């Protein structure tokens, strides 16, 4: 396979075929980061070019939905496939955090932050998740009906306050959830719009986004100030970030940089974790035999608060979460900007093109997955998962920009899911899990479920 480093080879390749969908359908599909990518793929192939406006107004886009193409984009150095317009809009709103900065800034920042998020270190941050799940589930009335999405957001808000910020956030959704939703939707809308007004032009949406961003910045500043004034405040992740230094330079983060990073971790810890948890519970509520298998697994640990070390004994629970992340990936689309001509699955993608990897489309592609629209956790059993191409399953991204908090997220999710299933029975009432992509993937409608008393679970029959 030729690549960007082969002199002259890129020029010999064809550019991707232009997508044949009518312009209006393309505009609508582009803003649906999940199912829109499937629509583009089905009409134009696994590497397809999208041109919505003259290049001087908006760069051409190439949508990639093949494992080879995902490798060719995400596996490259981010000096070659850089942050794009969506990331630039987010930087304008909430500052220069690890998620949005370009390569020269990203390299030392990643080097500084990576040790904070090792498998060993994140155990210190994840412990409160099982306690939060225990307390949330204890408040559910047996026989009552709940919205799984709403309750999982309460759960992650509580855990976020205890493990990250050292605050009680139970009644503070107005300081986090609503501002996040407003800001992220504005960023995604503006970053994908064919025509954008200059940032200095005031609009209603811009004013709302600026106000939301100011609320989040103020929260981050308050947290840092509180931690500095009170050395006893229990905020392990904040403390770890404050103590982190670059191994090459010895430099730490300024308070402004700490605040920028905190906002991103708050968003990921609340929004994406809650959606994954709600989706996993909804699926278990539709598959009682799977719910029983999780319950048997966690019952074997004993009747005590779960700890990070217990996750090693929750193999099926983790499989359930991997399957939930396959069907409902937090980032349905992963975008980059090509800064040089590159090869993507046999095509030439020219410098200046916005390249997008359709993660949702990849993870539900019938060419790659058997029964792609069925919930089958066993496909992630270790012996079976070896057959899965590394580049067809990308819930946390891949390559240099892989999500730094993936271990943290999986640890929290496993502890919370096992804790809830151990305490109650979930019976899903909503026939479907409607998804939206204002930025990350979220539940687009309430996800209703009935809460019942946990049944006595008998061991599975010996197949012999």
Tokens for 416, please give them.
């919370």
- Give CA–CA dist 375/393, Å, rounded: 15
The separation between the first and the last C-alpha atoms of the chain, rounded to the nearest angstrom, is 49
**In this structure, what CATH number is given to the domain that contains residue 338?**
1.10.630.10
pLDDT of residue 149: 96
pLDDT of residue 463: 41
- Give CA–CA dist 253/414, Å, rounded: 31
Q: What mean pLDDT comes out for the span 427-438?
A: 97
Number of neighbours of residue 92 by Cβ within 10 angstroms: 15
Contact, 67 vs 362, CB < 8 A? yes
4: in domain: no
- Least trusted range by pLDDT, from 57-61, 142-146, 160-164, 344-348: 160-164
Q: In this prediction, what percent of the chain has a pLDDT beyond 70?
A: 95
Domain that holds residue 403: 10-453
Q: In this prediction, what percent of the chain has a pLDDT beyond 90?
A: 73
Q: What mean pLDDT comes out for the span 336-354?
A: 96
127: in domain: yes
| Count of structural domains within the chain | 1
Q: Which residue has the higher pLDDT, 1 or 56?
A: 56
Q: What mean pLDDT comes out for the span 66-91?
A: 92
Whether pLDDT at 118 is above 70: yes
461: in domain: no
- Least trusted range by pLDDT, from 47-56, 122-131, 157-166, 226-235: 157-166
Q: What mean pLDDT comes out for the span 384-400?
A: 96
Q: What mean pLDDT comes out for the span 90-113?
A: 93
Q: What mean pLDDT comes out for the span 440-454?
A: 96
- Give CA–CA dist 366/163, Å, rounded: 39
The pLDDT-based confidence of 274 (bands split at 50, 70, 90) is very high
pLDDT of residue 2: 44
Q: What mean pLDDT comes out for the span 77-87?
A: 87
The pLDDT-based confidence of 185 (bands split at 50, 70, 90) is very high
- Within 13 Å, how many C-alpha atoms sit on residue 112's CB side? 23
406: in domain: yes
Q: What mean pLDDT comes out for the span 449-453?
A: 97
- Per-residue pLDDT of 27-45, as tens digits, reads 999 999 999 999 999 999 9
pLDDT of residue 270: 82
- Least trusted range by pLDDT, from 187-196, 371-380, 406-415: 187-196
pLDDT of residue 461: 52
Q: What is the C-alpha radius of gyration for the chain, rounded to an integer number of angstroms?
A: 22
197: in domain: yes
- Per-residue pLDDT of 190-199, as tens digits, reads 888 877 888 8
- Give CA–CA dist 91/14, Å, rounded: 34
What pTM was estimated for this model as a whole?
A: 0.93
């Amino acid at each position: 396979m030729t690549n960007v480093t082969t002199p002259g080879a890129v020029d010999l390749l064809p550019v991707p075929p232009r997508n044949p969908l009518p312009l209006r359908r393309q505009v609508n599909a582009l803003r649906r980061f999940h199912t829109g990518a499937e629509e583009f793929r089905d009409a134009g192939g696994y590497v397809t070019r999208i041109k919505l406006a003259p290049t001087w107004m908006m760069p051409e886009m190439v949508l990639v939905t093949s494992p080879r193409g995902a490798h060719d984009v995400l596996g490259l150095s981010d000096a070659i496939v850089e942050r794009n317009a969506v990331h630039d809009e987010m930087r304008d709103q909430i500052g220069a955090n690890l998620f949005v900065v370009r390569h020269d800034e990203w390299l030392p920042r990643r080097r500084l932050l990576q040790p904070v998020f090792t498998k060993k270190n994140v155990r210190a941050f994840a412990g409160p998740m099982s306690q939060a799940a225990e307390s949330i589930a204890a408040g559910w009335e047996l026989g009552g009906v709940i919205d799984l999405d709403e309750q999982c957001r309460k759960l992650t808000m509580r855990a976020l306050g205890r493990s990250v910020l050292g605050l009680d956030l139970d009644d503070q959704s107005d300081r986090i959830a609503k501002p996040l939703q407003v800001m992220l939707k504005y960023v995604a809308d503006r970053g994908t719009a064919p025509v954008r007004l200059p940032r200095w032009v005031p609009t209603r949406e811009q004013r709302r986004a600026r106000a939301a961003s100011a609320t989040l910045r103020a929260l981050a500043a308050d947290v840092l100030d509180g931690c500095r004034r009170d050395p006893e405040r229990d905020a392990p992740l904040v403390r770890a970030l404050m103590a982190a230094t670059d191994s090459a330079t010895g430099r730490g983060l300024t308070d402004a940089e700490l605040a920028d990073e905190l906002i991103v971790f708050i968003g990921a810890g609340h929004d994406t974790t809650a959606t994954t948890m709600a989706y996993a519970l909804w699926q278990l509520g539709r598959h009682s035999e799977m719910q029983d298998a999780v319950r048997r697994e966690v019952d074997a640990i004993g009747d005590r608060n779960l700890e990070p070390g217990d996750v090693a004994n929750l193999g099926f629970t983790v499989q359930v979460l991997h399957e939930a992340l396959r069907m409902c990936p937090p980032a349905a689309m992963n975008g980059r900007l090509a800064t040089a001509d590159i090869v993507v699955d046999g095509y030439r993608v020219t410098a200046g093109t916005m390249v997008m990897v359709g993660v949702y489309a990849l993870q539900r592609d019938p060419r790659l997955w058997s029964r792609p629209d069925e919930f089958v956790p066993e496909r992630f059993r270790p012996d079976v998962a070896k057959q899965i191409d590394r580049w067809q399953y990308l819930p946390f991204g891949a390559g240099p920009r892989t999500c730094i908090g993936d271990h943290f997220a999986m640890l929290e999710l496993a502890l919370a899911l096992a804790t809830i299933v151990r305490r109650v029975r979930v019976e899903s009432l909503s026939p479907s899990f409607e998804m939206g992509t204002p930025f990350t993937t979220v539940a687009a409608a309430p996800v209703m479920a009935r809460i019942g008393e946990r049944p006595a679970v008998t061991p599975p029959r010996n197949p012999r």
